[in-house]
Amino acid sequence: MPARAPRAAFVAPPALRLAAGDDDDADRLDDLSRRRADERDELVYVVELWDEAGRAVEQVLAITVNSSIGFAAYFAATREHPNRYLTLRHKNAIVSRWNGRKN
Residue-range domain boundaries for the chain: 43-98
- SS3 of the chain: CCCCCCCCCCCCCCCCCCCCCCCHHHHHHHHHHHHHHHHHHCCCEEEEEECCCCCCEEEEEEEECCHHHHHHHHHHHHHHCCCCCEEEEECCEEEEEECCCCC
Residues 65-84 have pLDDT tens digits of 999 999 999 999 999 999 99
> What value does the mean pLDDT of the chain take?
78
Residues 47-62 have pLDDT tens digits of 999 998 889 999 999 9
Residue 100's pLDDT band, with cuts at 50, 70 and 90, is: confident
Residue 101's pLDDT band, with cuts at 50, 70 and 90, is: confident
Average pLDDT over residues 35-49: 74
